[in-house]
Amino acid sequence: MTGPGGSAGPVRERLEGERRRTVRRLAMLRGDYRGFVEASRDTNADDEHDPEGATIAFEREQVGSLVRSAELHLEAVDAALGRVAAGTYGVCTVCGRPIAPERLQVRPTARTCVACA
């Protein structure tokens, strides 16, 4: 199965668009993260007593979390593209039944059907 409508072309295009958006977002987030790391070098190392240091540390951790999330999403998109190439996209990796087109519409990287999720 190749996803909604049975055609790999539109599914691949959608996933490739998602991949491009995720790569751009990841590059932006990594730039932001580098900025926070550099800013933390310029502040007092005593985050507990330096109000600005605590804010920078908090923001750095927030952006770091967003970077990790975007990296995981990129891995999921790449895995979905691999399933499209293998002809297994839209097939539940647990039970082997088709994944509902509505689920794939909402979550194009889904590996499992709703029942197995």
CA distance 64 to 16: 24
pLDDT tens sequence across 12-45: 999 999 999 999 999 999 998 888 777 767 655 5
- Contact criterion met (CB below 8 Å) for 93 and 110: no
Which residues on adjacent β-strands are paired with residue 91?
98
Is the predicted pLDDT of residue 3 greater than 50, yes or no? no
- Mean pLDDT (whole number) for 73-92: 97
Which residues on adjacent β-strands are paired with residue 98?
91
Number of helices (H) and strands (E), helices first, in the chain? 3, 0
pTM of the model: 0.77
More confident residue, 9 or 78: 78
